[in-house]
Amino acid sequence: MSIRERLSGNEAAAIAMKQINPDVVAAFPITPSTEIPQYFSTFVSNGAVDTEFVAVESEHSAMSACIGAEAAGGRAMTATSANGLSLMWEMIYIASSLRLPIVMSLVNRAVSGPLNIHNDHSDAMGVRDAGWVMLFSENNQEAYDNLLMAHRIAENSNVRLPLMVCQDGFITSHSIENIELEEDEFVKKFVGTYKPEHYLLNDKEPIAVGPLDLQAYLFEHKAQQAEAMKNAKKVILEVAEEFEKATGRKYSFFEEYRMEDAEYVIVCMNSTAGTAKYTADLLRNKGVKAGVLKIRVFRPFPAEEIAKSLTKAKAVAVLDKADGLNAVGGPLFTDVTSAMYVNDVKVPTVNYIYGIGGRDTKADDIEKVYNDLAEIAKSGKVENPYRYLGLRRDK
Amino acid sequence: MAYNLKEVVANKPARFTAGHRMCAGCGAPVVGRMVLRALKEDDHAVICNATGCMEVSTFIYPYTAWTDSFIHTAFENAGATLSGVEAAYRAMKRQNKLSGKDTKFIAFGGDGGTYDIGLQSLSGAMERGHDMVYVCYDNGAYMNTGIQRSSATPRFADTTTSPAGKVIPGKMQSRKDLAQVMAAHHLPYVAQTIAVNNFKDLYEKSEKAIYTEGPCFLNVLAPCPRGWGYATEDLMQINKLAVETCYWPLYEVINGKYIVNYKPAKKLPIEEFLKPQKRFKHMFKPGNEWMIEEFQKEVDNRWEELLKLEEATK
Amino acid sequence: MTDINAKTPMDKLTEGGTIYTSGNAREFKTGDWRSTKPIYLKDKCKQCGLCFPVCPDNAIPVNKEQKREDFDYDYCKGCGVCAKVCPFNAITME
């Protein structure tokens, strides 16, 4: 039986962590994810979990301690945002290369500089090629559900990769919304116990982790990681299916909202999907065939499936909450367009960089994008595919 | 039981094996192996190594020279990495997820990974009170990358980033006193040691550090023939001179109480330690006498300060 | 024996480069690094015990009777530290 509650996204993440009851949580405060370790340390103080909470002196140490704990044979979790993730960057790569299924709650925030504490996706995009499974969440419910599914995906013997669950800083993390929580017993059973094959604390089989891996081997080890990421696709779907059977909440690589006959499609991630769906509904009432493709699984990138979903569209807009600063476009745009190209889907596609540093993105803004798409569909041409939404400029 | 070197070596197999690829005559494996010999034979250990000479020479895929469990992740985070392992041990033990042997946690880092880039991670791990020993094998520079100065490099030393040139005669700053920095963390056990004579000092301090509950720190001088520029076979002579000149005093701080373990009857002049090392060669050129004087003054001051600390905490 | 080498295909390499056979560096012989060779003169040796702990390569075996044996040339890199510490000239370098 689900329990109806009203929680913020951070509370939802902390409660998921409590129900998962990991062996070690190592975290460092940073806005807007700070509340997660705050709530969690209360659970520790009150004996509600069996976890060792390691109040580290930096995010670099948070990830290092998670790596140590996971290699030791325990389950390790952490939470961070923006610059915290930047400071972890070195260890993010090491965590995945050592094939340690650490789970992180990433509350997305703009990476400095200049300093800004509000939401965009520049933090997550900075580690998009680091070998982590990356799940995005539209709201508190999805942040919670994605965490409940996380270990099952990450720890699968065909995967063994770390995983991060993203949600939008403040917009989701600090907004209180209705949520359906699952019973502790259900979560315990669903997540299961962690039984690593090889681990440091097994005195019957001492192991050595983290070699100097020279020219004869690193290439192959990297290819193993790439293979594991491909394997994750199947596992993600299997876990989602099992989760749906138990909870009734359906998950896949992405959510197709009013896509069955959509002519104008917005591709986006996290909370913007809510605004996009609302706007699509408004436009549908006016007879505009608007649809939304909300990406949940960003890594592994479901390229073929995304391309297939966009086949029937007349024009597509990819919304990036992180600028590529590369004179081409945002990271999601380049991924989506390359998926379309490789899968021979020829639909005019345009990129909008939006919401940077917490700039509000309202239904009006989204409507403007749909209007642009109608223009593009009519002309069949995309002039300047690299655009901004809600940016002040003279020309 | 009284220390008996032969008994220790004969009865306790090396937990740091042969077949590693550190330079001939390197001081670090000598230290590492003896520290691990202080483990009780029945205990398991998890060793964590910061990136550095020792790490890149002892665990080159697919070969490891460690018979215990071992983890290396990066350069600056041996303290934090081992914190995570130790925390997992506590959590899993509490939940009866582990059976079997007692496990000890030992980190090794060079001076670069400990005095410099890893200082924050080390300080954090010590402050949080993890039950572990951090062993710094101090060879006084970034030897793995080719002898660059670190904050452990002694004043005037010629390194590849503090070269003795026409205008600047080597490293112009004094060496950081890391053992004192660690003592200021109010740890249950901090010691400075070295491999001399029959290794009694090193072995006994390692044993105390490993079997004292809580965070403990050992600072061990580990000469580098290549970086210091002395004849490879002179390792033990260099160690002896470091102690006899009071360049490297042997002492321990047990719950804040200082004990100086060795006081030379006749302190040798610092030239004895400097002379055999090429990194100090320029100090012996005519006109550079002031450098030796300054060096001596600093050694004397630090030694006096240590004796005062011993007196004050009696 | 470690059955991984530079020809092993990726599917057979251990995940993440983790090694499950601790202490297997012993299979890697470092004796060919040697340019000078220590010779053990058993007659002169008083079994004082100063030489074996100073060997960086653990190449001086000590038996259960607490006596040193001849060098393990599989690993000795010829550094000469042992010869230098011997008070009885029981080790010469060639």
Closest residue to B233, CB basis, from C30, C53, C79: C79
pLDDT tops 90 at residue B2: no
Q: What average pLDDT does range A238-250 have in this prediction? A: 98
Separation CA A305–CA A301 (nearest Å): 9
Q: Could you say which residues from 190 to 249 on chain B have a Cβ atom under 8 Å away from some Cβ of chain C?
A: 195, 197-199, 232-237
Q: What average pLDDT does range A307-329 have in this prediction? A: 97
pTM above 0.90, yes or no: yes
Backbone angles phi, psi at B236, to 5 degrees: -75, -30
pLDDT tops 80 at residue A171: yes
List, for residues A87-112, the tens digit of each pLDDT value. Answer: 999 999 999 999 999 999 999 999 99
CATH level 3 topology of B5-312: Rossmann fold (3.40.50)
- Please, which pLDDT band fits residue B99 given cuts at 50, 70 and 90? confident
Residue whose structure tokens are 């990066």? B74
CATH architecture of C29-94: 2-Layer Sandwich (3.30)
pLDDT tops 90 at residue A289: yes
CATH architecture of A254-389: 3-Layer(aba) Sandwich (3.40)
Q: Kind of pairing, strands A297-299 and A254-257?
A: unpaired
Q: What DSSP designation does C35 have?
A: S
Residue whose structure tokens are 């769906």? A277
List, for residues A112-129, the tens digit of each pLDDT value. Answer: 999 999 999 999 999 999
In Å, how far are A284, B35, B152, B265 from B250, measured between CA atoms? 81, 16, 17, 14
Task: Please provide the average confidence, as pLDDT, over all residues in chain B.
Answer: 97
- Chain A / chain C CB contacts < 8 angstroms: 48
Q: What average pLDDT does range B117-123 have in this prediction? A: 98
List, for residues B6-64, the tens digit of each pLDDT value. Answer: 999 999 999 999 999 999 999 999 999 999 999 999 999 999 999 999 999 999 999 99
Domain spans, chain A: 3-247, 254-389
pLDDT tops 70 at residue B184: yes
pLDDT tops 70 at residue B201: yes
Domain spans, chain C: 29-94
pLDDT tops 90 at residue B199: yes
Classify the complex by whether its ipTM is higher than 0.85, answering yes or no.
Answer: yes
- All residue ranges of chain C with pLDDT < 50 are none
List, for residues A14-68, the tens digit of each pLDDT value. Answer: 999 999 999 999 999 999 999 999 999 999 999 999 999 999 999 999 999 999 9
Closest residue to C81, CB basis, from B5, B59, B235: B235
Distance from CA of B235 to the nearest CA of A (A): 27
List, for residues A175-185, the tens digit of each pLDDT value. Answer: 999 999 999 99
pLDDT for B1 equals: 66
pLDDT for A328 equals: 95
Q: Could you say which residues from 63 to 92 on chain B have a Cβ atom under 8 Å away from some Cβ of chain A?
A: 64, 66-74, 76-77, 79-92
Farthest CA pair distance, chain C? 55
B53, closest residue in chain A (CA to CA) = A212
pLDDT tops 70 at residue A270: yes
**Helices first, then strands: H and E counts in chain B:** 12, 10
B149 interface with A at CB cutoff 8 Å: no
> For chain B, what percent of residues have pLDDT higher than 70?
100
Cβ distance of C77 and B25 shorter than 8 Å: yes
Helix (H) or strand (E) holding C91: strand C91-93
B26, closest residue in chain C (CA to CA) = C56
Amino acid at C55: C
Q: Which ranges constitute the DSSP H helices of chain A? A: 9-20, 35-45, 59-72, 82-97, 122-125, 140-154, 184-191, 218-247, 272-285, 303-309, 331-342, 363-379
Class (C level, CATH) for A3-247:
alpha beta
Asked if residues A130 and A92 have their Cβ atoms less than 8 Å apart, the reply is yes
A3-247 shares its CATH topology with A254-389: yes
